[in-house]
Structure 1
Amino acid sequence: MYMVYWTMVEETEITPHAQAFGTEEMVAAMGFMEELRKRQRAGEGVRFVTMCSEHPDVVGHPGVDVTGPEYNWKKRRR
């Protein structure tokens, strides 16, 4: 699943927006973002255009997991 987020800034009013796209719709989401950026270049108050994705069949949990006392990660430098 993809979400496109953007903000409309008009004089003193700031309004956040979002639109969802399905897992198979990445090209459509990117096209939508380009349309928003065209509006921005034309002088409209479109700001902060970004996209975020989250796979519905992900195996692990997002974020940082808790490690036990036996965890001993070291960065190897060469």
Structure 2
Amino acid sequence: MFVVYWLESGLERVSGDAGQECARFRRFDSDALAEALKFTEVLRNAQLQGGGVSFVTLCSENPQSVGRSGAADPPADYAWKKRRS
């Protein structure tokens, strides 16, 4: 799965106050990378043109991952060896 995150400013409809920022996101299926990249590019172009968009980022998560996300201790039977060249 892919998620595009961004901030929008000046959204009176969200907070009732002009100039307030709002965090937004949009999800994409794991087979829709091209669509997610196109959407990210649209947001980044809006940012360059001063469209009240900032902090545009694309994140991914692999649902078929065999391990847990993040850093973790290796299994007890893992034998790490430093290789010297």
Of 13-22 and 66-75, deviating more is: 66-75
User: What is residue 68 of structure 2 aligned with on the other side?
Assistant: 61
Quote how far apart the aligned CAs of 1:67 are.
4.5
Query: What are structure 2's unaligned runs of at least 5 residues?
Result: 11-17
Alpha-carbon RMSD: 2.2
TM score, norm. by length of structure 2:
0.75
Quote how far apart the aligned CAs of 1:72 are.
7.8
Helix, strand or coil: the match of 1:33? helix
Which one has a larger percent strand, Structure 1 or Structure 2? 1
Query: What are structure 1's unaligned runs of at least 5 residues?
Result: none
- In structure 1, what residue type is equivalent to 2:27? A
Structure 1 stretches of 4+ with a deviation exceeding 4 A read: 67-78
- In structure 2, what residue type is equivalent to 1:4? V
| Identity percentage of aligned residues | 38
**Pair 1:8-2:8 in alignment:** yes
Aligned residues: 78
